[in-house]
Chain A
Amino acid sequence: MTKLKKKVVVIGAGHNALTCASYLAKSGFEVEVHESRSEVGGMACTREFTEGYKVPGVAHLLHMLNPGIQKWLGLNKNGLEFAANRLKTISLNPNGNALVIDGDHLEGDGITDQHRAEFKSFKKKTNSLARFFRSAYQGRPPRIRTDNKKDLLGLMQTGWNLRTMGNEDMTDMLRFIAINVFDLLEEYFNDDFIKGSLAIDAVLGNHLGPRTNNSVITYLHTLTGEIDGVQGAYAIPKGGMSSYTDALKNSAEKLGVRIVLDSHVERIIVDDNGKASGVKFAKGNEVGADVVVSGIDPKSTFLCLVGARHFEAGFVHKINNVRMRGNASKLHLALSGLPSFNGVDEKDIGQRIVISPTMQYLEQAFDYTKYQHCSDQLPMEITIPSIHDSSLAPEGHHVLSAIVNYTPYSLKEGWDEAKPVVLENVLNTLSQFAPGIKQQILHSELLTPKDLEAEFGITGGHWHHGELTFDQFLMLRPFPGMAQYSSPIESLYICGAGAHPGGGLMGVAGRNAAVELMMEES
């Protein structure tokens, strides 16, 4: 517990920032959160995109909740309930019935016991490897090239965790982090459709194709979380995505955190001694602070809010090179009725639906992205949250929320011109699987990475605040030498997804940052 009640200003009220704020308040800091938007939650919000129709703003599935944080902040007591849990994944099949993935079980056209056995062993392996990452996620990542005892101990711990995985798992781990998900799935499966259905998890929200190295890490990353004890499960919170962040907000406020909305921070004030001493708002007023914590992405934090000239050039160069090429867009549709998808049982329509028939389909769409174009056949992750939560749309009507991958931030032809074309292509792709859907559309919205950048202030519109690749991972996130939440500016910390262990609505970065801050500032 701190003796001195230090004042902490937290910038942004995303889930990591709120988690961080709560932990700090609980250990005796005076915490004030400033959010530029009119609601908390950042990208985990509920958005009324047209009158009477609400959708999850950006993130639409909860799948990486951290049970420790969930319990410690009493999120369930503070209003977090699941409208649906342990969602199945329904992979749409252009040639027949959809593939249904339920935990480690497969069902679908031509699925044999052989396939099921392959899948079981694949799930077992990947879950076990993901648990190694999860263990590394729980604390601050150890720094390399150091003689700090705590860091050395951390490195030893990581090494020990790796070693005690057992010979086979350790060997697989070392092999898998170097290869790509294409080769990994080739090893386990023969069926192209199964491979395609699984590969989308590795690339969604990332600037990667299945054949890009590193794509096994991003796949394992999605398996590090759990929902109510089930590893890698998907859930939809009751009352929309904002109920997760509302629970965080309630918890924070109960702990004494002051949350100020519509409060746009324009600068982090750095005093003559190179210490963060407060923030300046767009409205012109300022507030002083002993400690400033930024929940927004590292690039915006350091280059926009602080400014390059407050740092040494080497630091600026590294932060400038953090890769944040967002390429996921968000599609929102208001529908006059429940759509029906070819080959999908009506009872399964509320599950997590993906369009990713083959790995080639993904790779070809990624090829366009590489050259800053957009394919007319894009992979998607679709949910119809109004099935689980009738408050989201008028009676009988529905909303559809989809993450559309491979829509690059820096599109050659420019988004102003391309947006209607991309939207049309996306709807065409959708109607290949849901033939009547176009007639049901009352209103549509496509939020491109550019839109996401403008609305949520994330550089490049990148969901994870920086590509989750091996060079920007663990102790290398956001870049080597900067992985422990603190910064060269004294009393300035980062707590967002740009810090270890990255994105995914875990809140772990926020908690880890708070723990680090407590040790440094107490």
Chain B
Amino acid sequence: MLLQQDHYKKSYYETPFHSRTSELNILNEWQRWKDYTVATNYFRTDLEYIAVRNTTGVIDYTPMVKQKITGPDSAEFVNRFFTRDMNKIAIGRVGYVVWCDAEGQVLDDGTVFHIRENEYWLLCVERQLDNLSISAIGFDVEIEEITDDVACLGVQGPTSCSILKAMGFEGIELLKPFDIKHYDFQGHEIMISRTGFSGDLGYEVWMVNEIALNFWDELFEKGEIYGIKPFGLDALDLVRIEAGLLVPGEDFMVAEFAIRPGSTRSPFELGLSWLVDLSKPVFNGRQALLEEKERGSRHTFVKLNVNGNKPANGSYLYNQSGKKIGTVTSAMFSPSAKANIAFASLHEPWKKGKDKIIAEIYYQKDLEWNRVMEEATIVTKPFYDPERKRITPAELY
């Protein structure tokens, strides 16, 4: 596409918002995300995090991989591709999904937008054109990657609805969680969904690249009195852990990239059984998942509340007899939950309800390494789950 014609000069792509994000990125901290460069931090991670939790944070989601599935067999196709019952995702709705390889191991997770009849978008971390195309043999569908054609912003936080309303998007407060609505913005159709990665009230806005800068400018102009701030990937990582959301490549190994057998995870092993509908006659990975159900899973995914205040990043976990029973995949001290939280993958000989979980935590003070052993308890509810996340009409300020 035109926008990216000069990419070879720089070895990375710039998103359509780059001229604005680079102005705001006073720390000049960037990272590569699917060949785009995006801000890691803009001004201070904790303040960006606080903006998302207390006012509104804006994140440039453009590099998220987007695939469009169209054609008369789309509904049947997605139902065979994803593990959950896709018939339950009505037109104008979004669903969280995972999908598996033939061994029932998770390839990636993402969201599916049922945009209109026979049109679905799949948004995820890893490119899926190959998996989708292989799965399309025998179906009358067309698969297209539209990552570079659609710009996307996450507008997340308590005042996000007020800002979008102030921009003139009528009825935005009536969107239920996971609803989609189309609006006109300067003569172009834009799509707004009540979705996000923050576990709070928030929206994602999807637009053509041409209007990206105009949208950004108006968003920040109208958002100023609502405390709008940009936030980077570091702050995103904090809010998504609080929200209990997984990241492929961090919390589980993307099955097609795994080298060692046993390093991948099935949906059952990621606490995602609710996304697997074994009553469907066929879907990718079903046979293997049925077998796993029969023989039992090898791993258990848990959310942990760890004693103390030292984040348990990368910690080994032991039981009371000192046997290794797992590792921490993501961890942080959560200011909102006021708890030291973590995701962990546990395995044998850990016994549910019987064994203790003890984290071996290493941390630095002035470059000196220290080590503590802290007990952890399993948490079943989300770490952070404000009421306003669900309320419709959404709160306005």
Residues of A bordering B, CB below 8 Å: 270, 272-274, 303, 307-317, 320, 488
Contacts and interface: CB of A to CB of B under 8 A. Distances in A.
A320 B137 CA distance: 8
B81 interface: yes
A309 B80 contact: yes
Interface in B118-157: 131, 134-135, 137-139
A272 B281 contact: yes
A312 B134 CA distance: 10
B47 interface: no
A274 B286 CA distance: 11
22 contacts: A270-B281, A272-B281, A274-B281, A274-B282, A308-B138, A308-B139, A309-B73, A309-B76, A309-B80, A309-B139, A309-B282, A310-B282, A312-B80, A312-B282, A312-B284, A312-B285, A313-B80, A313-B81, A313-B134, A313-B135, A317-B134, A488-B287
Nearest to B100: A312
A262 to B, nearest CB: 28
A320 B136 CA distance: 12
Contacts of B383: none
B49 interface: no
Contact of B137 (A270, A274, A308, A488): A308
Closest 3 CB pairs of A and B: A308-B138, A314-B102, A313-B135
Contacts of B138: 303, 307-309, 316
Interface residues of B, number: 19
B137 A312 contact: no
A442 B147 CA distance: 65
Contacts of B374: none
Given A312-B287, A314-B101, A314-B284, 15 more contacts: A273-B281, A274-B281, A307-B138, A309-B73, A309-B138, A309-B282, A311-B282, A312-B80, A312-B102, A312-B282, A312-B283, A313-B134, A314-B102, A317-B134, A320-B137
B55 to A, nearest CB: 44
A317 B130 CA distance: 11
A272 B139 CA distance: 19
B283 to A, nearest CB: 7
Contacts of A315: 102
Nearest to A274: B281
Contacts of B137: 308, 313, 316-317, 320
Contacts of A311: 282
A309 B101 CA distance: 16
Nearest to A307: B138
A150 to B, nearest CB: 18
B131 to A, nearest CB: 8
Contacts of A316: 134-135, 137-138
A102 B344 CA distance: 73
A308 B139 CA distance: 8
Contacts of B135: 313, 316
Interface in B297-336: none
A317 B101 CA distance: 12
Contacts of B81: 313
Contacts of A488: 287
Interface string B73-105: 100100011000000000000000000011000
B136 to A, nearest CB: 8
A301 to B, nearest CB: 13
B133 to A, nearest CB: 10
B297 to A, nearest CB: 18
Interface string B244-287: 00000000000000000000000000000000000001111111
A272 B279 CA distance: 10
A270 B283 CA distance: 15
Contacts of B281: 270, 272-274, 310
Contacts of A312: 80, 102, 282-287
Contacts of B102: 312-315
A270 B138 CA distance: 16
B291 to A, nearest CB: 12
A273 to B, nearest CB: 7
A73 B283 CA distance: 42
Contacts of B282: 274, 309-312
B255 to A, nearest CB: 11
Contacts of B287: 312, 488
Contacts of A309: 73, 76, 80, 138-139, 282
Nearest to B286: A312
Contacts of A270: 281
A273 B279 CA distance: 9
Nearest to A313: B135
A281 B140 CA distance: 24
A313 B284 contact: yes
